[in-house]
Structure 1
Amino acid sequence: MDRLTEVLQQKFGYSAFRDGQKEIIEQVIAGKDVIAILPTGMGKSLLFQLPAYLVEGTVVIVSPLLSLMQDQVEQLKIMGEKRVVAINSFLSFEEKEFVLRNLSTFKFIFTSPEMLQNERFNRMLSTIQIAYIVADEAHCISQWGFDFRPDYLRISSWLKSFKETNVLALTATATKKVVSDIKSTLHMKEPYEFIHSIDRPSIAYEVKELENQQEKVQWIIGRITTTNGPGILYTQSRKKSEFYAEELRNRGIRVAFYHAKMEQDDRILIQQQFQQGKLDWVCATNAFGMGIHKDNIRQIIHDHIPTSIASYVQEVGRAARDGNQSLASLVYTSSDVEQAYYVAMQDFPEDADIQLFYRSESTEIQLPETTTRILSYWKEVLSEQETIDLFRNIKQKKWLEIQSLFSLFQNDLCIREQLLNNFDEYLEKRPSNCCNVCSFDIRDVLEQRNQTEVEKQQLNWVYRLNELLH
């Protein structure tokens, strides 16, 4: 038995590697830069965890979300690894001081792009041996860095202090453009690339155009109350996520809403309840889902058109991690394309905002926090006109990305095949339940939901209370 397989069995309890895992780990240990694109559920965490036990030094993992960091820390602790920490807002002042003073004692350090700009943290990092650096959910560099988290772009400057340290970039989906952004931002030198097919044969695709918003709500409520989950309902706004959750709860569904405006503790609680099977559905904005370790998600429903094909594939890919049949449904109306563009543009500055920001002291003007954060970054690196041109181009690209996804639903071609083609892949074998354009039988895809007596009593009381209160 070779050393890698031995560590795999002893530390992680697996008898064999999945496709590509061993090759990627070998490259990381050899000190090579690596880009690994594997679908959700293919064991991306193992790719940075296992090599740590075969090389000297500390692994620094740059992660996009607090909840994702906390979850990965807990997973490592369950495995018996005590030398792990997430440096984020969950640490008290005293805890953070202790960690910084003892940084060299940790094998795994999780942190955020924002924390990488902390002077003291960087000073302490420079005193310890770094084995390699991990960019987890690396597509965020391209998808979020230009949009609302410019600290993702600042990673490029931060890495100049670690020129001899190799970088491992991990993500579930990435177009050629996103891969190019990752390579450039992370200063990768002829990286080893492993790109797994994005095709998920056990996920069937269903797309329906409806007449109006009321019909859409009725369709979604009907689908969720008559079929089995677990599932995630993705919607565009905080208000809608709360609305759907209330409607479904009134019908006896174990459901919660989730969005970025909630307290962090509440969001983590809902994520844990969903993962542990205490909730059957979560009605959420796209803030939910990254890092969810739940194998048996049977349904993903979108009540809108996402802002890109990559975002759509990322979100539906959270279903069927166990390989069993699941369904990704998307329902929309004719006005949803414009609505998707409006939502995508909300935080982007207009030309006048950019001119005002460049010509005034930042304390003198009132712009949304996200807009101010974005412009503060670009003011450091671009002229006023260059920034105006940049955001004009970004807006145009956003519109084209939305149109590209919408166009998939406006023809009679296989949805799966079109999604694959967008990532320069071709469909080699069509599953028996593919999409509603070609082979698809809803009875084979979804199990009908049976109401328990408790649920029926709950529904009866809800109905009677509503009759009394209205």
Structure 2
Amino acid sequence: MTLLHTLQQHFGFSSLRPGQQQVIDTLMAGHSAAAIFPTGSGKSLCYQLPALLLPQLTLVISPLLALMQDQLAFLSRMNIPAASIDSTQSWEESRQIMQDVREGRIKVLMISVERLKNERFRQFIGQIPISLLVVDEAHCISEWGHNFRPDYLKLPDYRRQLNIPQVLLLTATATPNVIDDMQRKFGLSRENVVITGFYRPNLHLEVIPVTEAEKMPALIEQLIEDPAQPTIVYVTLQHTAERIAERLTAAGIQAQAYHAGMDQDRRRQLQQAFMAGSVPCIVATIAFGMGVDKADIRRVIHYDLPKSIENYSQEIGRAGRDGQPSRCILLGNQAGLNVLENFVYGDTPEPDAIKALLHELQLAGEQWELMPLRLSNSTNIRLLPLKTLLVYLELNRIIEPQYSYFADYRFKFIKSREEILSRFNPERQAFLTAVFNGSPLARSWCQVNFDAIWQQDGGERKRVISALDYLHQQGLVSLESKQMIEVYRVLQNNFDLQTETSRIHDLFQQKEASEITRLAEMIGFFESDSCLSHRLAAYFADHQAPVRCGHCSVCAGQPVQLPLPKRPPLPTAEQLQHWCQGLQADSQQTLSNHTLACFLCGITTPLLNRLKAKKQPGFGQLEQQRFGEIQQLLSQFG
């Protein structure tokens, strides 16, 4: 079947867009490729069409469940056999999907990158021939990108382990440095990295300078012109989304809030209502938008500052996918800048926390087993920076990841023990008897004791899990696993503790400085006196955009300065002491200035969660202030 015939038969298109043809031709010629296209320009087709023509499975790594579900709904409409394995499914559903994959009935399987840490899944997928690995949001592999995810760094290794011949990287937001990083890590040829233009002639970019007090009236003014137009209003915090939606409703504008703190069913209903047009305006955090393929979004309004130019580009890219004129409006001031900066500062671990982790590593011997959540709590390092820190140790050849496993396995009989044993030959019956005998019953669940099974039968852990997995797949038992443990080989543990602590802390401070610079670049972009469309395209390595677009606020003769916030005066030493004294008393230890600054600025850390800091009257008292200034103040007052 030819490419064009398949394109027409399944997708109803007679031709491919610019960029799509080059990427798909590269893949069909047996090479790996990267598609760096702006949001809404058809990146997904670059794997969906080849998936139908390649002989084996196409495995897609997708960062968000909502994104997977939208892609699967589209593939289903196109009569393409596709599925995902995710945390929302029952064991019967995931068992059926794995069976369909084994028997070749599924052409596209979508998973999160975390699924590859699951030993049961790796055991399953390792037996499946795969033609193509697709990495969506591939910029997440770059440490210096705007959305670095440490687990993405392991994808080149997983690809080698699973013997996948080709890879396709997809992203809409990669700067030149990030493109180089992606290319190097996956070993792609430069000629197979396809970048299409980022310039969108139908998007009208507007920056309207407003103070905080003027923001809400300005938003209502924008919406009241045509309240039925499909619109997304982006905010930073969940409670802001709720508040703004209420205010808009009171003003007679049909609007609903959407954020990650809401029930999943409610979020799904809201997304469907927006897609259908029954809810024209969604007030959302960035939890909304990934995978929202609504062609006629006429307005994207940023009520709060976006997190970066990359985020801004991605969010406005959801407007006007039908090619019709659409407005992208920023109601801008610098009041929210401190909130964005505080997110960055809260993710930088303190030297003492890094030192405590490294000391634990030195005591581990040749193998280091860790439970991420427990280690996060014991060292006071948030989970994302903890993952990043482990990657830093990997890159410095101090540790090497081996595998992950679940500490606990338990199963429940669906068929009787006797009926299960009767299905197997005597040798397997003896092994399963040892497994069952070594798994004592507690209420209705049997807890697997690997040591007891080893002593009775010499059954290795891997064989026990394979056997239970098989019984689970056959519907004979229900198998559950929990408490993920990551295992690393310790390549060197005689490093100098202070030197390595300083090295890693320096890396985090560089990352912190890079993120703060990214925020400054974003303010510089919005305050630019040259064409916004041209500057945005150049940021993403597109140098073909017109120097003057004629449809941005700068080209309309309205460059802006974003108003600075009126911050309350800094507190006195007595106020600081009053706010901090309850927390200090509860902790029964001297808290660092960094921890106290997090507390006062309303930033949570594992230690502050453990101390139930949110219940203290001082929590978040200085959230309108800048973190660096509060830390400096604490140092002065001692």
Give the TM-score of the pair, scaled to structure 1.
Answer: 0.86
Q: 2:501 aligns with which of 384, 390, 397?
A: 384
User: What is aligned with 1:446?
Assistant: none
Q: Which amino acid aligns with 1:401?
A: R
Q: How many positions carry a matched residue from both structures? A: 438
Task: State the shift of 1:22 in Å.
Answer: 1.8
Measure, in 2, the Cα distance between the counterparts of 1:180 and 1:251: 49
Cα 1:389–1:67 change in 2 (3 A) is same
Measure, in 2, the Cα distance between the counterparts of 1:47 and 1:279: 32
Measure, in 2, the Cα distance between the counterparts of 1:129 and 1:163: 8
SS at match of 1:35: strand
Task: State the shift of 1:147 in Å.
Answer: 6.0
Gaps of 5+ in 2: 361-373, 397-499, 559-638
Q: Which amino acid aligns with 1:11?
A: H
User: What is aligned with 2:378?
Assistant: 364
Q: Which moved more, 1:183-192 or 1:404-413?
A: 183-192
Q: Which amino acid aligns with 2:62?
A: S
User: What is aligned with 1:170?
Assistant: 170
User: What is aligned with 2:133?
Assistant: 133
Native 8 Å contact 2:357 2:379 kept in 1: yes
User: What is aligned with 1:225?
Assistant: 224
Cα 1:59–1:144 change in 2 (3 A) is farther
Native 8 Å contact 1:148 1:373 kept in 2: no
Find the structure with the greater CA-based Rg.
2
Residue 29 in structure 1 maps to residue 25 in structure 2: no
Measure, in 1, the Cα distance between the counterparts of 2:540 and 2:82: 36
Measure, in 2, the Cα distance between the counterparts of 1:96 and 1:137: 25
Cα 1:192–1:201 change in 2 (3 A) is same
Same amino acid, percent of matched pairs: 34
Gaps of 5+ in 1: 442-470
User: What is aligned with 1:439?
Assistant: 556
Task: State the shift of 1:250 in Å.
Answer: 2.0
Measure, in 2, the Cα distance between the counterparts of 1:367 and 1:107: 40
Measure, in 1, the Cα distance between the counterparts of 2:29 and 2:189: 14
User: What is aligned with 2:539?
Assistant: 422
Task: State the shift of 1:433 in Å.
Answer: 4.7
Could you report, residue by residue, the CA deviation over 1:210-233 in whole angstroms, capped at 9, with x for unpaired residues? Answer: 2x3121222113222333421111
User: What is aligned with 2:325?
Assistant: 325
Measure, in 1, the Cα distance between the counterparts of 2:124 and 2:188: 24
Native 8 Å contact 1:7 1:50 kept in 2: yes
Measure, in 1, the Cα distance between the counterparts of 2:164 and 2:386: 34
Q: Which amino acid aligns with 1:304?
A: D
SS at match of 1:218: helix
Q: Which amino acid aligns with 2:324?
A: N
Q: Which moved more, 1:426-435 or 1:346-355?
A: 426-435
Native 8 Å contact 1:147 1:348 kept in 2: no
Native 8 Å contact 1:103 1:124 kept in 2: no
Q: Which moved more, 1:399-408 or 1:2-11?
A: 2-11
Native 8 Å contact 2:146 2:310 kept in 1: no
User: What is aligned with 2:290?
Assistant: 290
Task: State the shift of 1:143 in Å.
Answer: 7.0
User: What is aligned with 1:402?
Assistant: 519
User: What is aligned with 1:460?
Assistant: none
Q: Which amino acid aligns with 2:287?
A: A
Task: State the shift of 1:181 in Å.
Answer: 2.6
User: What is aligned with 2:271?
Assistant: 271
Could you report, residue by residue, the CA deviation over 1:117-160 in whole angstroms, capped at 9, with x for unpaired residues? Answer: 11121222121211111011222333798867422222233122
Task: State the shift of 1:402 in Å.
Answer: 1.1
Native 8 Å contact 1:204 1:328 kept in 2: yes
Could you report, residue by residue, the CA deviation over 1:233-254 in whole angstroms, capped at 9, with x for unpaired residues? Answer: 1111111111111111222323
Q: Which amino acid aligns with 1:45?
A: S
Q: Which moved more, 1:369-378 or 1:221-230?
A: 369-378
Task: State the shift of 1:411 in Å.
Answer: 3.8
Cα 1:432–1:133 change in 2 (3 A) is closer
Q: Which moved more, 1:429-438 or 1:321-330?
A: 429-438
Native 8 Å contact 2:141 2:148 kept in 1: no
User: What is aligned with 1:92?
Assistant: 90
Could you report, residue by residue, the CA deviation over 1:338-371 in whole angstroms, capped at 9, with x for unpaired residues? Answer: 3332234443434343334434582634554444
Native 8 Å contact 1:8 1:14 kept in 2: yes
SS at match of 2:330: strand
Native 8 Å contact 1:297 1:326 kept in 2: yes
Q: Which amino acid aligns with 1:408?
A: F
Structure 1 residues 34-433: aligned runs within 5 Å: 34-81=33-80, 83-104=81-102, 105=104, 106-142=106-142, 149-190=149-190, 192-210=192-210, 212-228=211-227, 229-359=229-359, 362=375, 364-379=378-393, 381-382=395-396, 383-426=500-543, 428-429=545-546, 433=550
SS at match of 1:44: coil
Q: Which amino acid aligns with 2:97?
A: V
Q: Which amino acid aligns with 2:551?
A: C
Q: Which amino acid aligns with 2:338?
A: E
Measure, in 1, the Cα distance between the counterparts of 2:355 and 2:215: 41
Q: Which amino acid aligns with 2:259?
A: H
SS at match of 1:305: coil
Give the TM-score of the pair, scaled to structure 2.
Answer: 0.64
Q: Which moved more, 1:285-294 or 1:253-262?
A: 253-262
SS at match of 1:32: coil
Native 8 Å contact 1:433 1:440 kept in 2: no
Native 8 Å contact 1:434 1:440 kept in 2: no
Cα 1:292–1:405 change in 2 (3 A) is same
Measure, in 1, the Cα distance between the counterparts of 2:184 and 2:285: 30
Cα 1:53–1:197 change in 2 (3 A) is same
SS at match of 1:36: strand
Measure, in 1, the Cα distance between the counterparts of 2:172 and 2:258: 22
Cα 1:356–1:269 change in 2 (3 A) is farther
Q: Which amino acid aligns with 1:92?
A: S
SS at match of 1:257: strand
Measure, in 2, the Cα distance between the counterparts of 1:191 and 1:122: 32
Native 8 Å contact 1:203 1:325 kept in 2: yes
Could you report, residue by residue, the CA deviation over 1:439-469 in whole angstroms, capped at 9, with x for unpaired residues? Answer: 389xxxxxxxxxxxxxxxxxxxxxxxxxxxx
Task: State the shift of 1:188 in Å.
Answer: 3.1
Native 8 Å contact 2:139 2:145 kept in 1: no
User: What is aligned with 1:454?
Assistant: none
SS at match of 1:272: helix
Measure, in 2, the Cα distance between the counterparts of 1:380 and 1:92: 35
SS at match of 1:343: helix
Measure, in 2, the Cα distance between the counterparts of 1:353 and 1:218: 46
Measure, in 2, the Cα distance between the counterparts of 1:7 and 1:337: 49
Q: Which amino acid aligns with 1:282?
A: I
Q: Which amino acid aligns with 2:221?
A: G
Measure, in 2, the Cα distance between the counterparts of 1:219 and 1:249: 15
Task: State the shift of 1:93 in Å.
Answer: 1.5
